Every structure is written in structure tokens, then in C-alpha cells.
Amino acid sequence: MTDRRLSNSTRQALPASVAVPGYDRNRVVPGIVHLGVGAFHRAHQAAYVDDCLAAGGTDWGIVGVSLRSADTRDALAPQDGLYTLAVRSSDSESLRVVGSILSMLVAPEDPGAVLAALTDPRTAIVTLTITEKAYLRAAGGGLDTAHPDIVHDLANPQMPRTAHGFLAESLARRRAAGIQPFTVLCCDNLPANGATLHRLLVEFAGLRGTDLARHIADEVAFPSSMVDRIVPATTDADRARISGQLGVEDAWPVMTEPFCQWVIEDDFPAGRPDWERFGVTMVGDVEPFEDMKLRLLNGSHSAIAYLGLLSGHETVDRAFADPAIRQFVDGLWAEAITTLPKDVGLDTADYTAQLAKRYSNTALAHRTAQIANDGSQKLPQRIVASAMERMSAGAPPAYLMLVVAAWIAACEARGKALPESLFTDPLDLALSALDTRHLSPGEAAVAVFDLAGFAKDGTERLTLIDLAAAHLERLRQGGVAAAFTALGIVNRRP
Ligand code: CS2
């Protein structure tokens, strides 16, 4: 192992097979501030922007912001922000060094620096991948105004902790200084993600003053977007393998699949990169794409995660190779597809065929436990929304509700059949206080639906709870095999 690091000065010495930024990074100016510089951002948006910079769009460099930990900055700062993107299929791997992240800030260390970057007149777009839970939605979908970080940000507007606090304060400062607002581009897996963030931020700003709320409501654009690329967490073995191939150390390379998709609503009053030149689809309404992705990809991902964990499968490809799980996923897709719009040209057969191929990628080793995190934040848009729509169309969502029951069962199994902290959830404290293992399946389902706000205002609530409870009973008594048998799925595993 070498002690030389990947950096501006070592990048030219990399093996010829590794693609490197072919542009002068010193000429790139920051035009985008990104909140949440995790692996997903680095495999997705930062790669699109890298293409744009390589084609001469030098106004769109990225300032990366971590809202919580210093890990990524600590890994990338000695590398001048450079990192390797390893694109892996079952039988090949290609390496590319990405240069679009110009600098990184760690919000808890220096919130003032983050506000300065957001207020910089050159910042035309603020993008976010902060994960579902960081939007701080209450069980009913509105802002969780009692959350300690929201309370903190309202009391200390100059020293924010949350995305809401940073966005509201910087938009207020821009407004006071006569600087055009930036466009806010949400890239998280939320339904109508732009409109959802817009609504939450207006609610937050309203607690600071009606003037700011009105400004954000009327004058700031929040296009929605659908993002898609599977990005497993980087392991130490990945770090060693990639550094070995580079001949210099990369402290945090990112692993991903060949597939990559980004669909964005075209509403950027302050300008934007020529994204369509680099494979981004610009549309007037992203909702059909977003629903298809959330319900078919993310919904089945969560299903594979919980049923996979309960069946002893550590990775998505192994779980998906289990014939019973595969059969279940087909049934889940069939239920969810009926909830998607028919008249907008979605090709669901092609989409699910591609998903099946992507899930079978053996090089990714995408851990079921990784996807299992934050179920309370994910299931509403991935599973419960489709289930409610199916119910109101008079069709029982039997497969969909097994996913909710499997989540409850997997939570109950932690500390027993599964390791205690195999996955986490923002509701963990409340879930352990409930201790649903000691409740009947019916009582457990009611308690969890209430806690997580599932189907809160739906007339379908009671029927969904009954379906989930019946599945939970079978999962508790006979495991996944019993739940599958009740659906008519033959468990052909030995
Ligand atoms: C996954 C997503 O971890 C999860 O919950 O379902 O991160 C998924 O891999 C991406 O949305 C794919 O685009």
C-alpha cells in the first residue's frame, strides 16, 4: 500500500485505464451548494456535474456541505476533493476520478461558512440529499415543530443545524442584500420532493416571520426531481482494492452500478447547467417518474431488505436470487403498478425487467441492512401510499402490507434473531418503549401505525392494519415461509 494520496498533483500519474477530469479545476467556479455530500451524491449528481465541467460549463462547481459528520471532508480534503467512482457490474469494473467537488464544509464546525456559501451571489442552485429523516416531518407529514433541532434553529437563526434553518436564513440574507434567490433542488426519495420541501420550508419560515414565509412561498423555485442510482456503502475492502488499482490511496472511493437516471422539473430562474446534454431528462412534471421509482424500485428494495433480513440474506442480489422472494417481488410490483398513471407513457414492464437485472448485480453486495435503515420514514411513500390507493380502488394490497409487517417483525427481531443495531430508525426510542413483541399482532399493528403516522387520515386505515396484523401473526409464528404460503407463494428453498 502506498502512502501517496489521490490529489491534483498525483492524478496525472494514475494508470491509463482510470478516467480523470480533463479540465482545469482552477478555472471552475462554484455555482451549486450541495447539502449532504454522502456516497449517493458523489455517485450521481457530482458525476453529472463532472461531465458538464468537462464540456466547458465551468460555472457549476460544487461546494459540498455535510450537515452532521466530518468524515467525508476529512477523507476528501487531503485529496483536493477528488475521489474515485467505481462503476461495477457482475463481470466488469471501470474507475473514474470525479473532480466536481471544489471544497467541503462541515456545518456543525462552522455554520457561518455554510451560510456564507449559500449567500454567495454565484450560488444559483442548492441541491439536497440529506435522507428522508432530515426533513423532520411529523407523523402527519407537516414540519415536526417540536423537534429539538427545529426549536434550536428558530432560537438561533445565525447558527442553524438543519437544512430548513440554513435555507431560511440564507434566503433571508440574500433577500436583504438584493441577491436573487437560489433554486432549491431536492434530490431525496420523497414524494413530490420539491413541493414537499417547499411546503416544509414555508412552514418553518412562517415561525420566523410571515414576510420571509411569503418570500419563500412566492419567489423561490423548488423543482422536483427523481434521482436513481444504487450506491452501496463503501467497505474497507473497497478502499484497499481501489487504492491498489490507482497506485495511490483514495480514502473514500464510491461504489455504484452502471445504471444512472435523473429526471428534473425545468424550473431554474437563476440558471442551470445544460444537464440534458449529459443524460438528464428535463420535464414539466416529474411526478409519474417519481411515483414509478418510489413504488417499484424503492418499495421492492424495502421489501427485499426486511424479508431478506428475516430470511438470512445479507445482500440484495442473494435475497433476489431466493425464488420465493423473487416471486414475492413480482407480486408486489403487480400490485404497485396498478396505482401508477396509465396515460403518461410509463413502460412498467421494461422498468421492472431492468430492476430485476440491477438487483442481480453480484458485484455490488448491497446490504439489506443498509436499506433497512429508517423504515418509518421510507415506507409511507414506498408502500403505504400505493396500499391506500389500491384499497380505494377496491383491491386488497396483500403483498404491500406484508412489507409493513416484515418491517415490524424485523424491528422486533433486533436484539434477538438479528443483531441489536443492525439497522436504525429515528423512531427507535419510541419503538423500544412500545416493545411490540409483548403486544398481540393486532395491538402491535395499531401502535406502530399510530406512531409512524401510516395512513393517518385514510378511511383505509383499519383494513390496512388488519392486513398487516394478519401477516405479522404469521411472521411471528412461522417466519417468512408461513407469510409467503398464505399468499400462495411456494417456498422452494431447501
Ligand atoms: C434504497 C435507496 O437505501 C435505500 O432505501 O432503496 O437508497 C436506493 O438504492 C436508491 O434510491 C436507488 O436510486
Between strands 125-128 and 183-186, the pairing is parallel
Does residue 318 surpass a pLDDT of 60?
yes
> Residue of the nearest CA to atom 5 in ligand 1?
371
Find the 113 Cα to ligand 1 centroid distance in Å: 30
Find the 302 Cα to ligand 1 centroid distance in Å: 9
- Same domain as 380, residue 474: yes
344 vs 300, which has greater pLDDT? Answer: 300
Q: What is the rounded average pLDDT of the residues 282-290? A: 96
Among 301, 381, 382, say which to mutate for ligand 1: greatest number of ligand atoms within 8 Å of CB.
301
Ligand 1 atom nearest 261 alpha carbon: 13
Ligand 1 atom nearest 229 alpha carbon: 13
Ligand 1 atom nearest 189 alpha carbon: 11
Find the 272 Cα to ligand 1 centroid distance in Å: 26
8-state DSSP, 78: G
Cβ-contact 429, 325 below 8 angstroms: no
Is residue 333 in some structural domain? yes
Ligand 1 atom nearest 378 alpha carbon: 5
Q: In angstroms, rounded to a whole number, what is the distance separating the alpha carbons of residues 308 and 314?
A: 7
- Same domain as 90, residue 40: yes
Ligand 1 atom nearest 44 alpha carbon: 13
- Same domain as 445, residue 357: yes
Is residue 395 in some structural domain? yes
> Residue of the nearest CA to atom 6 in ligand 1?
298
Find the 188 Cα to ligand 1 centroid distance in Å: 10
Q: What is the pLDDT of residue 458?
A: 84
Is residue 493 in some structural domain? no
Please list, residue by residue across 176-200, b when 16 or more beta carbons sit within 10 angstroms of its beta carbon and e when fewer do. Answer: eeebebbbbbbbbbbbbbbbbbbbb
For 22, residues 6+ apart whose C-beta sits below 8 A from its C-beta are 54
Does residue 207 surpass a pLDDT of 50?
yes
Cβ-contact 461, 290 below 8 angstroms: no
Cβ-contact 265, 223 below 8 angstroms: yes
Q: What is the pLDDT of residue 397?
A: 97
Cβ-contact 248, 4 below 8 angstroms: yes
Q: What is the pLDDT of residue 3?
A: 66
- Same domain as 217, residue 243: yes
- Specify the range with the lowest mean pLDDT, choosing from 151-160, 309-318, 404-413, 453-462: 453-462
Is residue 437 in some structural domain? yes
Is residue 216 in some structural domain? yes
DSSP β-bridge partners for residue 88: 93
Does residue 256 surpass a pLDDT of 80?
yes
Does residue 494 surpass a pLDDT of 50?
no
Pocket of ligand 1 (CB under 6 A): 189, 228-230, 297-298, 301, 370-371, 378
Residues above pLDDT 70, as percent of the chain: 99
The domain boundary, picked from 256, 283, 310, lies at: 283
> Residue of the nearest CA to atom 4 in ligand 1?
371
Query: pTM score, two decimals?
Result: 0.97
- Same domain as 304, residue 243: no
- Same domain as 324, residue 373: yes
Domain total in the chain = 2
- Residue 427 sits in a domain of what CATH number? 1.10.1040.10
Q: What is the rounded average pLDDT of the residues 103-118? A: 98
Ligand 1 atom nearest 227 alpha carbon: 13
Find the 48 Cα to ligand 1 centroid distance in Å: 18
- Encode pLDDT of 348-385 as tens digits: 999 999 999 999 999 999 999 999 999 999 999 999 99
- Domain of 320 in residue numbering reads as 287-486
Ligand 1 atom nearest 231 alpha carbon: 9
Find the 355 Cα to ligand 1 centroid distance in Å: 12
Is the alpha carbon torsion for 281, 283, 287, 292 positive or negative? negative
- Same domain as 224, residue 268: yes
- Same domain as 279, residue 300: no
Does residue 198 surpass a pLDDT of 90?
yes
- Same domain as 305, residue 278: no
- Same domain as 137, residue 240: yes
What is the band of 24 on the pLDDT scale with cuts at 50, 70, 90?
A: very high
Find the 230 Cα to ligand 1 centroid distance in Å: 6
Using DSSP's 3-state secondary structure scheme, residue 443 falls into helix
Q: What is the rounded average pLDDT of the residues 43-54? A: 98
Find the 371 Cα to ligand 1 centroid distance in Å: 7
What is the band of 140 on the pLDDT scale with cuts at 50, 70, 90?
A: confident
CB atoms within 10 A of CB 468: 30
> Residue of the nearest CA to atom 13 in ligand 1?
228
The CA-based angle 143-144-148, given to 5 degrees, is 135
Cell 417483525: give the residue: 409
- Same domain as 366, residue 270: no
Nearest to 397 by CA among 334, 458, 349: 334
Q: What is the rounded average pLDDT of the residues 68-80? A: 97
Among 297, 361, 407, say which to mutate for ligand 1: greatest number of ligand atoms within 8 Å of CB.
297
- Encode pLDDT of 231-254 as tens digits: 999 999 999 999 999 999 999 999
The CA-based angle 300-410-444, given to 5 degrees, is 105
Q: What grid cell was written down for 328?
A: 414475492
The domain boundary, picked from 239, 259, 283, lies at: 283
Ligand 1 atom nearest 228 alpha carbon: 13
Is residue 3 in some structural domain? no
Query: Amino acid identity of 357?
Result: K
Q: What grid cell was written down for 82?
A: 477528488
Q: In the predicted model, what is the mean pLDDT of the chain?
A: 96
Is residue 422 in some structural domain? yes
CA 279 to chain centre: 20
Is residue 357 in some structural domain? yes
CB atoms within 10 A of CB 90: 12
- Same domain as 297, residue 275: no
Find the 179 Cα to ligand 1 centroid distance in Å: 36
The domain boundary, picked from 228, 253, 283, lies at: 283
Q: In angstroms, rounded to a whole number, what is the distance separating the alpha carbons of residues 353 and 372?
A: 23
Find the 40 Cα to ligand 1 centroid distance in Å: 9
